[in-house]
Amino acid sequence: MNILILGGGGREHALAWAVMQNPKCDKLIVAPGNAGIAQIARCATLDIEDGGAVARFAEAEAIDFVIIGPEAPLAAGVADRLREAGILVFGPSAAAARLEASKAFTKEICDASGAPTAAYARFTDAEAARAYIRAQGAPIVVKADGLAAGKGVIVAMTEDEALAAIDDMFGGSFGAAGAEVVIEDFMEGEEASFFVLCDGDTVLPIGTAQDHKRVGEGDTGPNTGGMGAYSPAPVLTDAIAERALDEIIRPTVAELARRGTPYQGVLYAGLMIKDGAPRLVEYNVRFGDPECQVLMMRLGGQAMDLMHAAAEGRLSDARVNWADDHAMTVVMAAKGYPGSYEKGTEIKGLDTLPETSSDMCFHAGTTLQDGKIRASGGRVLNITARADSLSEARARAYALAEQIDWPDGFYRSDIGWRAL
């Protein structure tokens, strides 16, 4: 099978790594890819948000199956264009991708399906939003309706913070994504992520994870895209996972099917868990990054068969072969991230790292220049290990991280503290 993966982060390196382990993969192209992906697959330059361009490229390269990594091409309708061209694709339609592309849409679906989530109100007028915040008080959560590169959710612990978020959103800091805001009650509890595959009808759980969103030790400092993750998430017990499936995820998938916009792809439910009960925080219509790295390390080559079965509507016959294992990934980021940081600094020591089914350094923001690996983004490397216990996976991931010679990078030393 000839496969095209869209994206160029650590998530896509992990997807490419899993696909390459499956003997059914004859050819793999990743667009745009990165320096790590280039070591295992061909990287191509392509506007991945232009569905017509992606379809033409796939036809020219005799691609049998396209896997879409990030949310932006999904929201832009790239999966729709590929399906119209008769190309098999893993990823939801633009209509179903609204589960991530519009926070207000997700709330509508929760209302219609009875999925438990925080009480909320929607606003297109700043003054009305301010009045609502003053009436409700803090803590309170302010969300830009649209896609905002992970920066559109403000968990405001004070009324002033919430009002400042309203000024930012209606002031244009988030562009069109901030034209409408959703204001939600603050939910207490422990957050965890639940990943399922869907084929429009059947829902197949493929793992749980927790990430660390804050940049600093002890979960302090500004929010990031994620500084590390581990799977499974101990807080998401089998009983809570069953409740999440019955009360949140299956009703959502059924409601989308009822509306004529069935969901096909991976559905990533962010859940808040308190007293054994899950409530929906948000949906994402793609794998988490860096959560994907730990999920792929646990699933290995079967991940491709499962994604292919989802795309072909065959999930009711699919089974996940689970191992009783744990995986952890530690993100190495450029010093200064998530603020401003230098690009182009050289990273050494990567060629001596082991690359096995249990130890991998996935690349995120890297490029190859003059034979040297250089940092080209904020989050740069994802050092990932799998073992029989989380503490062993953690020890191995940190031992690998220590071998990397990159004075301009940093990582948190406490990934997994909650679970350990």
Nearer to ligand GLY, 202 or 252 (CB): 252
- To ligand GLY, the closest distance from the beta carbon of 265 in angstroms equals 15
Residue 315 C-beta: closest distance to ligand GLY, Å? 23
Cα separation of 230 and 374, whole Å?
A: 26
Contacting ligand GLY within 109-148 (CB under 6 A): none
The residue with tokens 């949140």 is 248
Residue range at the interface with ligand GLY (CB under 6 A); choices 45-53, 242-250, 286-294, 310-318: 286-294
The answer to the question of residue 289 lying near ligand GLY (CB under 6 A) is yes
Pick out residues in 180-219 that bind ligand GLY (CB under 6 A): 211
Which segment (30-38, 239-247, 288-296, 409-417) binds ligand GLY by CB under 6 A? 288-296
The interface region with ligand GLY, picked from 23-31, 73-81, 284-292, 326-334 by CB under 6 A, is 284-292
Only segment of 62-70, 180-188, 285-293, 330-338 that touches ligand GLY (CB under 6 A) = 285-293
Q: Which two tokens stand for residue 272?
A: 């808040």
Task: Tell me how crowded residue 203 is: count the other CB atoms within 10 A of its CB.
Answer: 18
Name the one residue in this structure whose structure tokens are 């988490």: 288
DSSP strand E in 244-352: where? 264-274, 277-284, 326-334
Q: Is the peptide bond before 205 cis (omega within 30 degrees of 0)?
A: no
CA-CA distance, 257 to 96, in Å (whole number)?
A: 9
Minimum CB distance to ligand GLY smaller for 226 or for 416: 226
Q: d(Cα 403, Cα 7) in Å, to the nearest integer? A: 27
Of 283-291, 329-337, 366-374, 403-411, the segment contacting ligand GLY by CB under 6 A is: 283-291
| Cα–Cα dist 51/73, whole Å | 8
Of 202, 208, 231, 284, the one binding ligand GLY (CB under 6 A) is: 284
Bridge partners, 32 (sequence order):
7
Binding of residue 80 to ligand GLY (CB under 6 A): no
Tokens standing for residue 307:
């994604």
- Could you say which of 168, 291, 359, 408 contacts ligand GLY (CB under 6 A)? 291
Q: Which stretch binds ligand GLY (CB under 6 A): 133-141, 287-295, 299-307, 363-371?
A: 287-295
Burial of residue 323, with CB atoms counted within 10 A of its CB: 0-12 exposed, 13-18 middle, 19 or more buried: exposed
- Closer to ligand GLY at the Cβ: 202 or 284? 284
Rounded least distance, CB 344 to ligand GLY, Å: 25
Contact assessment for residue 357 and residue 386, using Cβ atoms and an 8 Å cutoff: yes
Looking at the DSSP bridge assignments, the partners of residue 88 are 65
Does position 226 interact with ligand GLY (CB under 6 A)? The reply is yes
- Judged by CB under 6 A, the residue of 9, 70, 288, 365 near ligand GLY is 288
SS3 call for 90: strand
Position 282 contacts ligand GLY (CB under 6 A) = no
Comparison of 132 and 410: residue with beta carbon closer to ligand GLY: 410
Residue with Cβ nearer ligand GLY (51 or 228): 228
The neighbour count for residue 413, using CB atoms within 10 Å, is 11
Least Cα distance to 3 among 311, 292, 320, 359 occurs for 311
Q: How far apart are CA 33 and CA 248, in angstroms?
A: 34
Q: In terms of Cα–Cα distance, which of 258, 305, 300, 263 is closest to 285?
A: 263
CB 211 → ligand GLY: shortest distance, Å? 5
In the complex, least distance from residue 80 CB atom to ligand GLY, rounded to whole angstroms = 23
Minimum distance from residue 71 beta carbon to ligand GLY (Å): 9
Phi, psi of 238 (to 5 degrees): -60, -40
* Beta strand segments in 8-95, E: 27-32, 42-43, 65-68, 88-90
What type of residue is 314? R
Closest approach of ligand GLY to the CB of residue 298, in Å: 17
What's the min distance (Å) between Cβ of 387 and ligand GLY? Answer: 22
CB of 286 to ligand GLY, least distance (A): 8
Pairing of strands 359-363, 220-223: unpaired
Size of the site for ligand GLY (CB under 6 A): 8
Binding residues (CB under 6 A) for ligand GLY: these are 150, 211, 225-226, 284, 288-289, 291
